[in-house]
Amino acid sequence: MSLYRWGGFSNTKEFVGFDNFITLWNDVDFIQSFQNSILLIVVVAIFTLLIAVFFAAVLTKETIPGGNFFRVIFYVPNILSIVVIAGVFSAIYDPSSGLLNSIFGTLSLENFQQMWLGDQDIIIYSVAGALVWQAIGYYMVMYMSSMASIPPSFYEAASLEGASKWKQFTNITLPLIWNTIRTTLTFYIISTINLSFLLVKAMTGGGPDGSTEVFLSYMYDQAYGNSTYGYGMAIGVVVFIFSFALAAIVNHITKRDVLEY
Amino acid sequence: MNVKKLLFALSVLFLTIGLVACSDSKSSEGKETNEETNEETNEETNEETNEEGNEEEGTTLHVAALESAYGADMWEKIADSYETTNENVKIELTIKKNLEEVIRPNMQAGEYPDVVLLATGRPEALTETLMKENGLENITDIFDQKVSGEDSTVNEKILDGFTDTLATNPYADGETYLAPMFYSPTGLFYNAGLFEEKGWDVPKTWDEMWELGDKASEEGIALFTYPTTGYFDTFIGSMLYALGGPDFFNSAMTYEDGIWESDKSTEVFETIEKLASYTEKNTVANANPNDFTKNQQLVLDNKALFMPNGNWVVDEMKEAPRADNFEWGMTSIPAFEDGGDRYAFTFFEQIWVPSAAENKVDAKDFITYMYSDEASSIFLEAGAVQPIEGITDQLDGQKQIFYGIYDDEDVLPAMGTFASTEPVAGVNMGDTLYGTIGSVISGKITIEEWRASVEEASDKLREAMN
């Protein structure tokens, strides 16, 4: 279908070869949406990974009061519908009565007050913030389960040898959960591509002026809103190849010898 | 080994049972539905024969309409009353809020409705897609036909000007493909109570507008806000009309070369640039599908004076809290010079027949029925106003203020939209002309860049005109 000029209804299909892909190559709006998507994937993956691993390590290794309560709290965002998340975050980011600006206001940090959803330089990070918030719980549970299966004797031996908590983490925990992390990296790519579309549709509508358009929302706009179904399908092909290739690359460069215990 | 074999055999057994069960239930379901439909049709035919004796078997007319603020009930009533006058026609209604999602798959499978009420300018752009693919039936002839069940022709009943716009004649060739249905005037909405309290006059020119803006900002009120940039379609349209009348507007809508670089268009861009400095500061942050009501709330709270909108906003904000002396007011887009023409854009929904429809003759007759006294009073009861002669006299209260906007001597109606072209990949005039305003207001790009990109999009679309 990506090789046709087609509006979506079968009677007027015209074969145009690779024209759609050539147009795509020169389409500034597509390039912008592509950049936004890559930025989101990178930012969301890095931040979710760091935060989720940190909390997973704290919750499995340390006994803190109310540990189970925190597990629930962290997991709750994950069961919320993305539209609810959009509602919650547009309340948080509200310029005049929003949580974020109010907190900065009470702390007399007026310089930090921003138009979180109005400033085109910031808004993509606001979207990333919402995505990270909803993703942490899910990945945290994954990391926790793989950390829980590490035999405690390793840590006992390490602490007898005088290894610090940080040393234990980098030399025991991290290598032993490496395989789980690798798997989740692929999940980050897939889920960010999907969820960013839903969130952008519900929260910002791709605006202001396309500054939060991601490639799936751009594909949707072109396939339906602009009646260029074939062109939308061409975008779909590019997105598929891109996510497939990215996942393969990430998988390849994170390859290590699997440690057994 | 034995256990493994047993397990294997068991799993195969379960799988088979599962498959059989599934297929079985499906076919029996299918049978049931068949039976049901048979029963239904039998009943219907029985009823019909009972009522009319030896009437030949009637046609079924599939009518699909968007369920908007007016509700679905009025369509049921319309179907009933049409069926009573045309006894051999059975109406099957599809009234949905997400009409596109319901009828698109059917249409792709070749099952087209006979009559569709769905306006242009919707995010899914189904109507535009059919326009661009030449999938609409030419209905120019119905306007000379008699209204179903009445003696006058459709043309005699429809208000002047509604059937010679680009919104009804998308290819700009004088042929009509879409009939105008419910209309609503759009313009700048404001709090009439506040203007009375402060003793301000509603500005008639842009100069008066800026003066008022300065006065208001001393009191901490912003001059302008907008729900989302999409609302600029009627705003810019009215400005184009005010600058050069219908001719200028139409040449812009048919992508005439250099039109956006002309001096007149430059005034549009410059006015919006100036308006940017008078725009409420949170507007851009809230101009998205989730928060646009916050921008509309600004007017209710006396934090902003004007917003471009349509009269549906009254219902949309019905439950919202508001300032004490709040009262909706509506005015046209200001003129560019003293005593110049002012325009208020009229937005209307369209009804059309897909060219792949089965019962085109009946479909066209059904459309003429839409303009009958009987139908229009049913619609009016639900709050939907059609462009029919004398209808404004039947309105009451607030509605009359909005629909009576053209009674003001120098306010003229403006109508139309961009001419339909073949689909052009990656070029969307709406996004380029209106969407970019977000960036203009936040100062991200200059109006020169904006103008250049609009002209570029216009150039590309001109080549694709049908």
In this complex, the residue of A9, A87, A208 whose CB is nearest that of residue B135 is A9
Are A224 and B123 within 8 A, CB to CB? yes
The CATH number given to B187-344+405-463 is 3.40.190.10
Residue of B nearest to A95 (CA): B282
Question: What confidence score (pLDDT) does residue B178 get?
Answer: 93
- Tell me which chain B residues have a C-beta less than 8 angstroms from the C-beta of A24: 425-426
Tell whether B121 is within 8 A of chain A (Cβ).
no
Report how far residue B403's alpha carbon sits from residue B259's, in angstroms, rounded to the nearest whole number.
32
The pLDDT tens digits of the residues spanning A33-64 come to: 999 999 999 999 999 999 999 999 988 888 78
Contact by Cβ (8 Å): B238, B332: yes
Domain B60-183+349-397: homologous superfamily in CATH: Periplasmic binding protein-like II (3.40.190.10)
- Tell me which chain B residues have a C-beta less than 8 angstroms from the C-beta of A200: none
In this complex, the residue of A23, A86, A209 whose CB is nearest that of residue B436 is A209
User: Which one of A3, A4, A9, A123 makes the best mutation probe of the B interface by having the most chain B beta carbons within 10 Å?
Assistant: A9
Are B285 and A205 within 8 A, CB to CB? no
Report how far residue B337's alpha carbon sits from residue B331's, in angstroms, rounded to the nearest whole number.
16
Q: What is the least distance, in Å, from the CA of B376 to any CA of chain A?
A: 32
Question: What confidence score (pLDDT) does residue B205 get?
Answer: 93
Are A209 and B435 within 8 A, CB to CB? yes
Quick one: A69 exposed, middle or buried, by C-beta within 10 A (0-12, 13-18, 19+)? exposed
The pLDDT tens digits of the residues spanning B410-426 come to: 788 888 888 888 888 88
Q: What is the least distance, in Å, from the CA of A12 to any CA of chain B?
A: 7
Which domains, ranges and CATH numbers included, belong to chain A? 27-211 (1.10.3720.10)
User: Which one of A11, A227, A229, A231 makes the best mutation probe of the B interface by having the most chain B beta carbons within 10 Å?
Assistant: A227
Rg, Å, chain A Cα set: 22
Please tell me if the domain spanning B60-183+349-397 has the same topology as the one spanning B187-344+405-463.
yes
Q: What is the 3-state secondary structure (H, E, C) of chain A?
A: CCCEECCCCHHHCEECCCHHHHHHHCCHHHHHHHHHHHHHHHHHHHHHHHHHHHHHHHHHHCCCCCHHHHHHHHHHHHHCCHHHHHHHHHHHCCCCCCHHHHHHHHCCCHHHCCCCCCCCCCHHHHHHHHHHHHHHHHHHHHHHHHHHCCCHHHHHHHHHCCCCHHHHHHHHHHHHHHHHHHHHHHHHHHHHHHHHHHHHHHHCCCCCCCCCCCHHHHHHHHHHHCCCHHHHHHHHHHHHHHHHHHHHHHHHHCCCCCCCC
**Complex ipTM value:** 0.81
Report how far residue A174's alpha carbon sits from residue A227's, in angstroms, rounded to the nearest whole number.
49
Measured in whole angstroms, how far is the alpha carbon of residue A3 from the centre of its chain?
31
Tell whether A93 is within 8 A of chain B (Cβ).
yes
In this complex, the residue of B134, B290, B437 whose CB is nearest that of residue A90 is B290
Residue of B nearest to A87 (CA): B290
- Tell me which chain A residues have a C-beta less than 8 angstroms from the C-beta of B435: 207, 209-210
The pLDDT tens digits of the residues spanning B85-114 come to: 888 899 999 999 889 889 988 888 888 999
| Residue tagged 């979207």 (tokens) | A127
Tell whether B109 is within 8 A of chain A (Cβ).
no
Tell whether A164 is within 8 A of chain B (Cβ).
no
Are B285 and A117 within 8 A, CB to CB? yes
Question: What confidence score (pLDDT) does residue A205 get?
Answer: 84
Are B285 and A228 within 8 A, CB to CB? no
The pLDDT tens digits of the residues spanning A63-102 come to: 788 888 888 888 888 888 889 999 999 999 988 888 988 8
Tell whether B461 is within 8 A of chain A (Cβ).
no
Given pLDDT bands bounded at 50, 70 and 90, which one contains residue B36?
very low
The pLDDT tens digits of the residues spanning B247-265 come to: 899 899 999 998 999 988 9
What token pair was written down for A107?
A: 């702390």
Instruction: Estimate the crossing angle of helix A28-61 against helix A67-79, to 10 degrees.
Output: 160
User: How many CB pairs below 8 Å do chains A and B form together?
Assistant: 137
Task: List C-alpha distances in Å: A167 to A97, A170, A171, B108.
Answer: 44, 5, 6, 61
Q: What is the least distance, in Å, from the CA of B132 to any CA of chain A?
A: 8
What value does the mean pLDDT of chain A take?
89
Touching A: B residues 341-370, CB under 8 Å: 356
Question: What confidence score (pLDDT) does residue B43 get?
Answer: 43
Q: Is the dihedral of CA A97, A103, A108, A109 positive or negative?
A: negative
Question: What confidence score (pLDDT) does residue B431 get?
Answer: 85
Report how far residue B338's alpha carbon sits from residue B358's, in angstroms, rounded to the nearest whole number.
54
Are A119 and B438 within 8 A, CB to CB? no
Question: What confidence score (pLDDT) does residue B51 get?
Answer: 41
Residue of B nearest to A126 (CA): B285
pLDDT: is B56 or B122 the higher one? B122
In this complex, the residue of A10, A11, A225 whose CB is nearest that of residue B123 is A225
Domain boundaries, chain B: 60-183+349-397, 187-344+405-463
pLDDT: is B326 or A114 the higher one? B326
Are B133 and A226 within 8 A, CB to CB? no
Contact by Cβ (8 Å): A203, A127: yes
Are B285 and A118 within 8 A, CB to CB? yes
